[in-house]
Amino acid sequence: MARIIKTLIQKRVSDIDMFQHVNNVSQQMYFDLGKADFYRQVLQDDRIITAATANSFKEQIRMEDDIYVTTTVAKVGNKSITLFQQIIGRNAAGRETVKTESTSVMVAFDFDRQESVTVPERWRRNLAD
């Protein structure tokens, strides 16, 4: 089974829009926090960039919902890693539901040369552990 990283999210009042739910832009920032945790804990590196992201909004997130992001690897390619993420919400009764899902294609990147590179063997080993 793939390793799942769980990132607790603290919502801010500024995340709430005029419809009284968390704005979609804020949700993307939550996914980015999950990615940062994943890079630190699993890859132990941050030489990676986002090439593509697709989100599916399943349910509204309200200010009173406790939420967290899960991040796991869906696929490892030659130069890319595909991440699968979910925002999970827990209501006052303790019921958890998937609020939003995201799939992101992440590319290993050499910032000095400004080009994509092969996924490092160290990352592959860390992903296999």
Instruction: Give tens-digit pLDDT for 4-28.
Output: 999 999 999 999 999 999 999 999 9
What backbone torsions phi and psi does residue 47 show, to the nearest 5 degrees? -85, 70
pTM above 0.75, yes or no: yes
Q: How far apart are the first and last CA of the chain?
A: 10
Query: Do residues 72 and 31 touch, judged by C-beta distance below 8 A?
Result: no
SS3 98: strand
CA–CA distance, 7 with 103 (Å, rounded to integer): 16
- Count of residues in the chain: 129
CA–CA distance, 49 with 122 (Å, rounded to integer): 17
Q: pLDDT digits over 59-89, tens only?
A: 999 988 999 999 999 999 999 999 999 999 9
